Amino acid sequence: MWMVEGLEFLPRRLDFSSAGLGQHTTTAVMADGVQLVNALDLVDDGDPLQLIVCEHCGTIACQSGNWVSLRRLQAGLVFMPAFEEMARGSQERLECAPPYFTETKGIPWIQGSALTALAARTPFLADLARWPELTVREAALILQWESPRGFLTRFPDPPGLLPDTSAVVTHGENRATIAAATCFGSIAVCRGGGWEGAARARQLRL
Ligand SMILES: [Zn+2]
Asked if 117 and 142 sit in the same domain, the reply is no
Q: Does residue 60 share a domain with residue 141?
A: no
Tell me how many degrees the CA angle 62-63-64 measures, rounded to the nearest 5: 125
pLDDT of the residue at 165: 66
**Does 67 share its domain with 90?**
yes
At residue 161 the predicted structure's pLDDT band, cuts being 50, 70 and 90, is confident
**Which of 133, 161, 182 is at the close of a domain?**
133
157 and 102 within one domain: no
Number of domains in the chain: 2
Q: Which domain holds residue 140?
A: 135-206
Among the listed ranges 19-33, 75-89, 94-108, 190-204, which one has the minimum average pLDDT value? 190-204
Q: Who wins on pLDDT, 33 or 180?
A: 33
Q: Would you place residue 16 in the very low, low, confident or very high pLDDT band (cuts 50, 70, 90)?
A: very high
Q: What is the pLDDT of residue 162?
A: 82
Residue 196 confidence (pLDDT): 43
Nearest of 199, 155, 162 to residue 184 by alpha carbon: 162
Is residue 61's pLDDT more than 90? yes
18 Cα: distance to centroid of ligand 1 (angstroms): 9
Residues 43 and 129 in one domain: yes
Cα–ligand 1 centroid distance for 81 (angstroms)? 22
Name residue 73's amino acid. L
State which of 98, 133, 168 marks the end of a domain.
133
In which band, very low, low, confident or very high, does the pLDDT at 160 lie, cut at 50, 70 and 90?
confident
Tell me the percentage of the chain whose pLDDT exceeds 70.
79
Q: What's the pLDDT score for residue 163?
A: 76
Identify whether residues 45 and 92 lie together within a single domain. Answer: yes
Compute, in angstroms, the gap from residue 41 CA to the centroid of ligand 1.
Answer: 16
Q: In this structure, which residues have their CB less than 5 angstroms from ion ligand 1? A: 54, 56-57, 62
Long-range contacts (CB closer than 8 Å, 24 or more residues apart) made by 49-53: 51/79, 51/99, 52/99
